Structure 1
Amino acid sequence: MRNPFSKTYSEEDLTMFGFLGQIKFFERLKNKEMERFLPAMHHRKYVKDEVVFFSKDPSQALYLVKSGTITLTIDIRDTFETIFNLGKGEAFGENSLLENSKRTYTALIVSEEAELIVIPHFAIQEIFDSNPKIKAKMMTALAEYYNANNQRLFKSYRESFGFFSLRQMYE
């Protein structure tokens, strides 16, 4: 029997919760926690070769990919090197979950068009300030994400030993 006091969600909300639940930073959240983000979400369309943000920009939003392909690059001297490509159901701009951070990579649209959901940093911080459980769940996901990135970095370093020094990371 259904609880008469539990909230019922629209089909559109349930579809969005299903989408969010597949994204690393939202996977631990319950529907009522994900609901807090709905008013802050902005749907935005981008076209091929449009830059979403540049490295060193302030981290002002988290981006969720609804459609299209985005490439994340780092600038090395006068060129850009691809870190990886993202598609539907993935997120980028994750350091916007942190306060006072800057982008570490450039995000560029590589498909003919892309639809992104943009969640502004200030809205995320307001949700975190009033919901410590949501913040804890999302920060745990962020820590796991960064840990996995470190694992890949160190694996790559071991496989290409001699091309750079890890000591440079701390200088």
Structure 2
Amino acid sequence: MRNPFSKTYTSQEHEMFEFLTQIKFFERMKNKEMARFIPAMHHRKYKRDEVVFFSKDPSQALYLVKKGQITLTIDVKDNFETILEINKGEAFGENSLLENTKRTYTAIIVSEDADLIVIPYFAIQEIFDSNPKIKAKMMTSLAEYYNQNNQRLFKSYRESFGFFSLRQMFE
């Protein structure tokens, strides 16, 4: 039997919860926790070749992809080198979950158009301040995400041994 005092959600909210649970940073959350983010979400449309943000910009928002494809690139001398392609149901701008960070890559729309959900940094921090459990869940997911990236980096390094020194990472 359903608790008569429990919150009921609209079909749009349930649709959003379904979408959010596909995304790494929301996968551990209950509906009532995800619901905290809904008022902070802004829907934005982008066109091909639009830059969402540049490397070294302040990390002011987390981006969730509803539609489209985005490439994450790093500047190598005078070129942009693609490090990752992001698709529907994925997120980028993850370092906005941390305080006082700058972007480490440039995000560019490569599909004809893209629909993104933007969650501003200040709204995320507000939710974290009042909900330590939500912060813990997102930080655990972020740590796992960074751990997977480290594993890929080290695998790539082993496969291309000699092109750079890992020691440079810590200098």
**Normalised-by-shorter TM-score class:** over 0.9
Q: Provide the residue aligned with 1:52 in structure 2.
A: 52
Q: Provide the residue aligned with 2:32 in structure 1.
A: 32
Distance 2:8 2:131 in 1: 21
| Secondary structure at the counterpart of residue 36 of structure 2 | helix
Distance 2:42 2:11 in 1: 19
**Cα shift at 1:47:** 0.3
- Residue 159 of structure 1 aligns to which amino acid in structure 2? E
Distance 1:8 1:129 in 2: 25
- Residue 67 of structure 1 aligns to which amino acid in structure 2? K
Q: Provide the residue aligned with 1:170 in structure 2.
A: 170
- Residue 170 of structure 1 aligns to which amino acid in structure 2? F
Q: Provide the residue aligned with 1:11 in structure 2.
A: 11
Identity %: 82
- Residue 48 of structure 2 aligns to which amino acid in structure 1? K
Distance 1:61 1:34 in 2: 16
CA RMSD of aligned residues (A): 0.4
- TM-score, L = length of structure 1: 0.99
| Secondary structure at the counterpart of residue 28 of structure 1 | coil
Distance 1:146 1:125 in 2: 20
Distance 2:145 2:119 in 1: 19
**Cα shift at 1:121:** 0.1
The yes-or-no answer on 1:106 pairing with 2:106 is: yes
**Cα shift at 1:31:** 0.3
- Residue 152 of structure 2 aligns to which amino acid in structure 1? R
Distance 2:84 2:100 in 1: 25
- Residue 119 of structure 2 aligns to which amino acid in structure 1? I
Structure 1's consecutive aligned runs of 4 or more residues displaced over 4 angstroms after TM superposition are none
**Cα shift at 1:84:** 1.2
| Secondary structure at the counterpart of residue 26 of structure 2 | coil
